Amino acid sequence: MNKETEIQEILERLELVKERIREIPREKPAAERFFDYFQKTAAFIENTMQVQEAVQTHTIGSWSLEQHRQRNRMLYEELLPENYEKSYANPVYAVQQLGKEYGSMLSMLYAELRALIAYAYEGNLENYTILCELFVQVYARFADPDGTSESEIRQIIYWFFHDYSEIFTEDGICGMIDPGRDFFTKIIMESDLSDLRYLYLYGEPIGENELQLADYFNRMPQEDIRSMADTFTEGYRIGFAVTGKDLGIKSTVNVHYAVGMERMVRAAIENFAKMGLAATVFRSPVSSFQNRSGRQQGCYSTSVNKQYDYDHKDDRALYFDKAFVERKLETIRTTYEANRTLASDYAGPAVIEVFGEKPFEPVNKPEALHYTEKQNRLNVYHASEAGQITNRYIKGEERSFTIIAYPVPEIGEQFEEIFHKTVEINTLDYARYRDMQQKIIDVLDQGVRAHIKGKGANETDLYVTFCHLENPEKQTVFENCVADVNIPVGEVFTSPVLQGTNGLLHVSSVYLNGLRYEDLRVRFSDGMVTDYSCSNFATEEENRAYFYENVLMRHDTLPMGEFAIGTNTTAYRMARDYGIADKLPILIAEKTGPHFAVGDTCYSHAEDTAVYNADGKEIIARDNEISVLRKEDVSKAYFNCHTDITIPFEELDYIAVERSDGSQIDIIRDGKFVVPGTEELNRPLE
């Protein structure tokens, strides 16, 4: 079947399913209590149809700014916190109205159908059609006078995701590696960015953050925009240079950014083009198939409701079994094989994060879908296998990345001041930090382990074992991290030896992967997490599940993959001056004190690539006892996660280096740097 015939068939199916959906509000399903659900869902779909038809007929460009605003609000207003309590997207309400048997499942379907917004704006006829057909198929069972059953509806949804795995997998992979998929890059490069109507063409929720961010960028002088873009793209280039990787063999870069930052992103894409790299952009996942989680990735906007995101983070539990996982892994293999040249050309991600949203503490809802223990194990298996497949086609030793962050207007009335200060932090003199950090490394390299002790109410008491230096003249244990891939400047880090890394890590309050943790305690034994707790919820069971799902990523345990000392006291000072410590992204927060990552090392999948500090010494601590297992069984070596937990300076008593003869020397004492030559780092702390 040729492409033209295929499109024509899809259009015919689309017209049929649209006609059927328009009939639903005038009907009543056999089960009366489901009428309201299907009526509201059909009305929502009809709302997306108007977008789909405007895109298909190329009339959406004539919509006024007010028309776009009204349409955007109509599409997303039900999810706003003030409306969410009585939305079928809320699993609690869905169960109350539809019953325990069907409520959670139909709430999941309600959330899944939100992907129609993205498909309509993108003009993705196939995905739009099949998702509408899924809804009609489910409705037909409830409309049947003979009734239906929970297992029958579950099977319909299950086979939908099973049968269309190839489509969804190809969307995910090719959106990352294929510059021919240019929906987002066309908006960035071809829109009149002074006309804010362009914001609504994404199909993302557009709120005050997006509107004010775009306005602020539009008021910036072009030289400031260019400077920010240069910092971002130069960090990407340096990341290849310092690791000895050849950027010249690559031709694509995947750009992640927040809606509203298009002026900077346009300048960055132009810079990448000069490096020989074409930009790709994908949408932050809208389907449970791609593990929709509410985390910032791809092209994203501010979440319309983080509780909604949290309620639906495990939606694929409805269809996630061994057969589905194996089917998905096979589609990943075949997609990469069919696009192996594009995969080989891919250089890695260039990420712009934002921060400043109100810290979020979720409510756990038993009515929401949750993975079983068996499914948790399947998740770990799936992540491991998918990671291995990806690394065969996009080799870790050939790719790099860069990441930078800026605030959004929600951070408060001082947004513009904070933004300006963040730009300053992102462009600190790396040479000064490099030299001060080298003095710290020279002390660290004398030791066999570090002792980290909290003060006051902080009960941290932790020993971290270092890799042994065979040749101190040519080798080092710690990487001197300046502003290249990880912007801003400011840390020295290592991969600890797990054996002998023991003790308690304690933080009074910390923000990890977009979620707040109160009174967090993590205990390590020989470098592995053996116990953990926090005080977010009323019961120990809930608190442990919170950490297990969102930090351990459903692994029974994780190793300490990184020990680092952040040196960016200027960022620390900014956080205190503006009262935004709880809003900083981990990218900046990790530079504001010692931190410990659970998960893979910083050299994951690239441990065999030699890395050197500016002084010419090779960083030899790239492996630990877990990652080295890749030489025997790669499935045991990686966890595909890495979460940094930072102790703020005011909760830190000391970091002391212990030598092999039992003597010790301080790096930090009473929360201040004491290594000669690092006194400048203490000024922002005073």
- Tell me, yes or no, whether 189 and 96 share the same domain: no
Residue 645 CB neighbour total at 10 angstroms: 22
Task: Render pLDDT for 7-29 as a digit per residue (tens, 0 to 9).
Answer: 899 999 999 999 999 999 888 77
Tell me the β-bridge partners of 225: none
How confident is the model at residue 634, as a pLDDT? 86
Q: Judge whether 415 lies within some domain.
A: no
- Tally the domains of the chain: 3
* DSSP state letter for 294: S
- Tell me, yes or no, whether 148 and 248 share the same domain: no
Cα radius of gyration rounded to whole Å, the chain: 26
Please say if the pLDDT value at position 565 is more than 90. yes
For residues 269-273, average pLDDT: 98
How confident is the model at residue 175, as a pLDDT? 97
Please say if the pLDDT value at position 669 is more than 80. yes
Q: Judge whether 287 lies within some domain.
A: yes
Domain boundary among 121, 141, 163: 163
- Tell me, yes or no, whether 375 and 441 share the same domain: no
Task: Render pLDDT for 480-520 as a digit per residue (tens, 0 to 9).
Answer: 987 677 888 899 999 999 999 999 999 998 888 778 899 99
- Tell me, yes or no, whether 443 and 365 share the same domain: no
Please say if the pLDDT value at position 3 is more than 70. yes
Domain boundary among 163, 185, 219: 163
Q: Judge whether 262 lies within some domain.
A: yes
- Tell me, yes or no, whether 289 and 338 share the same domain: yes
Please say if the pLDDT value at position 292 is more than 80. no
Rounded to 10 degrees, what is the CA torsion of 542, 546, 548, 552?
Answer: -160
For residues 59-78, average pLDDT: 97
- Tell me, yes or no, whether 497 and 455 share the same domain: yes
- Tell me, yes or no, whether 672 and 638 share the same domain: yes
pLDDT bucket at 437, cuts 50 / 70 / 90: very high
Task: Write out the DSSP string of 328-352.
Answer: HHHHHHHHHHHTHHHHHHEEEEEEE
Q: Judge whether 57 lies within some domain.
A: yes
Q: Judge whether 418 lies within some domain.
A: no
* DSSP state letter for 518: E
Percent of the chain's residues with pLDDT above 70: 99
How confident is the model at residue 333, as a pLDDT? 98
How confident is the model at residue 294, as a pLDDT? 63
Please say if the pLDDT value at position 31 is more than 90. no
- Tell me, yes or no, whether 149 and 271 share the same domain: no
Domain boundary among 136, 163, 190: 163
Whole-model pTM: value is 0.91
How confident is the model at residue 1, as a pLDDT? 65
- Tell me, yes or no, whether 349 and 447 share the same domain: no
* Spatial separation of the C-alpha atoms in residues 92 and 172, rounded to whole Å: 31
Q: Judge whether 423 lies within some domain.
A: no
Q: Judge whether 20 lies within some domain.
A: yes
Task: Render pLDDT for 340-371 as a digit per residue (tens, 0 to 9).
Answer: 999 999 999 999 999 999 888 899 999 999 99
Residue-number span of the structural domain to which 151 is assigned: 3-163
- Tell me, yes or no, whether 140 and 200 share the same domain: no
pLDDT bucket at 445, cuts 50 / 70 / 90: very high
- Tell me, yes or no, whether 479 and 449 share the same domain: yes
How confident is the model at residue 144, as a pLDDT? 87
Largest CA distance in the chain: 84
Q: Judge whether 385 lies within some domain.
A: yes
Q: Which long-range contacts (CB under 8 A, 24 or more apart) does 335-343 make?
A: 335/166, 335/169, 335/170, 335/173, 335/174, 336/173, 336/389, 336/390, 336/392, 336/393, 337/393, 339/173, 339/174, 339/177, 339/178, 340/393, 342/174, 342/177, 342/178, 342/252, 343/173, 343/177, 343/393, 343/394
**Structure tokens of 556?**
């029974």
- Tell me, yes or no, whether 505 and 433 share the same domain: yes
**Which segments of 382-434 are extended strands (E)?**
402-407
